[in-house]
Structure 1
């Protein structure tokens, strides 16, 4: 009986604690919304999964560099950065971002690697009227059928990443293609956009196979690709999926065969981990490379001091996008999304990331892309000396034409 009374007392005490916590939670939104002295930036990213090396804490560091460049305040408000791991789950990402906006007073959300996550987050920010600066995610649907009047797709997309690579390979006689595709929003969009580029250039898609996201074993998928008469095996994946597929393609002898393995989306950190022996000579398209200009090198040295690694395109995009956003807030004299978006669209992007970049009405930031080739091991001077520039692709040629994406805000 004594134990029973003690247990009941413990349950009552626990209930009181939970009630107190709930009351505190109810008060928190009021405090956060009432705090007009802080502009909050929320970095939603992959901190622990297959994209974490190329985004993650490095994207948070990239946001800090943007604030360092701009200054600690805007419109008399202190700039604050918060971050969270979305675990590559759209429902978790949506919950986090909704809570940020509703209870923590977040003014702008940035990064959003993983297209399924970014599409979910964009739905929340569109509903809440907040700006979403997308850097890591790639699906071109983010400025197409799923576009947003408050969304800006900054760094790359599946259309631009595949366009120049596919056209160049087809022009070199690599006309028959087989796709090995990550089975989620990003992979589907990358396969679709690359296939369109192949067929437009006069090539043919002979087949495809789709693998699970974050997949450790590609043997069965590579066997199917190996059995195809296609000359090109196109990897429509990214992050650890890309790295694992390349490693196992090397083990299967595909890299050394008469087939060409095409990398449609490349992350600097994945290539550094793989080593050039496995990818040397292959062509791909990049939105940013740290060693391209004096300005990119200067930015990269600052990033290296923080992270002991060179920045990926996604991380560099976070710095560039947030700097442009903060300048627009200052020019507009408000954080109200429509006014800030108007300033972002009317102001060219001229920084270490892009020269003459422009934010279109569908949210696409149009800038030059770069056809690159992986160096050979003998050409590389250090761990991060990985790419050589083959050609610059003007932004209007690299990205999908405005009228072809199906963005309802453009039509209306």
Structure 2
């Protein structure tokens, strides 16, 4: 045996800690802890009507991995991100299975479509791999369809609804008001319409119509004419992705003055519509106008790297990677059961907001602040991305983070099923 061969053998023996290397007869194996990299799967739509959001999410995840690796990685190992496009639920199922079984990722983060997220959740449960949902809103994912292998960083529909709803209620805007809904015709939209209608009606609002709208609808004129005929007090949007942009632009063109509100707001489609097409008060999971130290640093780093500020989806996927890294460090393990155990104990996370957040142990929803935002007057906007001013955090600083969450009665989850 040469000196080089002996040195190589000693290195393998030292790294292996006495187990056998697969496929190498006579050599001890490298355990999971000694594999060179920790593989993380990033699965999100990069094409289709949600693709513009997915690209921002991908950039956020990549930036997080670079930062984590620059400070030494996790448990002495670097992270490796494997990204796939989940353009629809069928593709999401196949890609999730590939990432876990072939690419050997230990965790999947990402997704925006609630239908696709549900499909990924089933694969994660079946294959006992962790999934961190960073963009899908449906309450059902945390309710009837919940499972112990999935954690939800993105806010659920009830959180979005209650964030703006509590503010609207205090302003006296709900009771007796007539609301006209436009709803995305798939799992996310159906769920959002259900929880939004429930909240409005419980507080004295009247939903006069709920039109189901196919995704990628190019012409909203038939819906806008129906809105004009109905003469509501508010038009309530349960749309997503480019459909938000298309509607907002056409609504502006028709010159309707009925106030706009919504069950959800994504920053990128609002940026694409332009400030001239925007009005009213909305809700946001995160906004780059936050002034705390962590948010300012994140916004600057992202802007320097990608030429514009991060949106709420970039924040979500960035936080997904940071949360995974922190949990692995705390657990001193990459094993799914160890990570679940440490997170369920109430581990706190810096969310680049005013307050730390943590996951509920019974449905794995991240408890966190959201924000009521107001569309800025055009002459006060510093640039094309500066479209909102933050009105308030919800829950407030002295309120429980449970305030905007679905209750067990509203959103029962059982990990036993």
CA–CA distance in structure 2, aligned partners of residues 229 and 268 of structure 1: 28
Three-state SS of the structure 1 residue aligned to 2:43 is strand
Three-state SS of the structure 2 residue aligned to 1:177 is strand
Structure 1 partner of 2:267: 268
Cα offsets for 1:177-204 (capped at 9, x unmatched): 1111010011111111111111122112
Cα offsets for 1:230-289 (capped at 9, x unmatched): 2111110111001111111112222xx2x2121332222222221111113x11111101
Structure 1: segments with no counterpart, 5+ residues: 1-26
CA–CA distance in structure 1, aligned partners of residues 157 and 139 of structure 2: 6
Structure 2 partner of 1:195: 197
Structure 1 partner of 2:216: 214
**Which residues in structure 2 correspond to 1:53-202 (within 5 Å)?**
53-56=52-55, 58-70=56-68, 71-87=71-87, 89-170=88-169, 171-174=171-174, 175-202=177-204
Structure 2 partner of 1:22: none
Cα gap change, 1:288 to 1:403, in 2 (>3 Å): same
CA RMSD of aligned residues (A): 2.2
Cα gap change, 1:354 to 1:341, in 2 (>3 Å): farther
Query: TM-score with structure 1 length normalisation?
Result: 0.86
Structure 2 partner of 1:398: 404
Three-state SS of the structure 2 residue aligned to 1:408 is coil
Cα gap change, 1:278 to 1:67, in 2 (>3 Å): same
Structure 2: segments with no counterpart, 5+ residues: 1-22, 24-29, 396-400
Structure 2 partner of 1:407: 413
Q: Which has the higher helix share?
A: 1
In the alignment, is the contact (CA less than 8 A) between 1:132 and 1:152 conserved in 2?
Answer: yes
CA–CA distance in structure 2, aligned partners of residues 54 and 120 of structure 1: 19
Three-state SS of the structure 2 residue aligned to 1:207 is strand
Pairwise CA distance, 1:35: 8.6
CA–CA distance in structure 1, aligned partners of residues 33 and 159 of structure 2: 42
CA–CA distance in structure 2, aligned partners of residues 239 and 221 of structure 1: 18
Three-state SS of the structure 2 residue aligned to 1:227 is helix
Pairwise CA distance, 1:402: 4.1
Structure 1 partner of 2:388: 387
Structure 1 partner of 2:4: none
Three-state SS of the structure 2 residue aligned to 1:118 is helix
Query: Runs of 4+ in structure 1 displaced over 6 angstroms?
Result: none
CA–CA distance in structure 1, aligned partners of residues 349 and 217 of structure 2: 37
CA–CA distance in structure 2, aligned partners of residues 168 and 324 of structure 1: 30
Q: How many residue pairs are counted as aligned between the two chains? A: 376
CA–CA distance in structure 2, aligned partners of residues 94 and 210 of structure 1: 26
Three-state SS of the structure 2 residue aligned to 1:389 is strand
CA–CA distance in structure 2, aligned partners of residues 226 and 124 of structure 1: 45
Which 10-residue stretch deviates more, 176-185 or 58-67?
58-67
Pairwise CA distance, 1:168: 3.4
Which 10-residue stretch deviates more, 74-83 or 166-175?
166-175
CA–CA distance in structure 1, aligned partners of residues 95 and 53 of structure 2: 21
CA–CA distance in structure 2, aligned partners of residues 356 and 297 of structure 1: 16
In the alignment, is the contact (CA less than 8 A) between 2:61 and 2:320 conserved in 1?
Answer: no
CA–CA distance in structure 2, aligned partners of residues 172 and 249 of structure 1: 25
Pairwise CA distance, 1:302: 0.7
Cα offsets for 1:320-368 (capped at 9, x unmatched): 1221211111221221112102222321112414622110120100101
CA–CA distance in structure 2, aligned partners of residues 365 and 127 of structure 1: 23
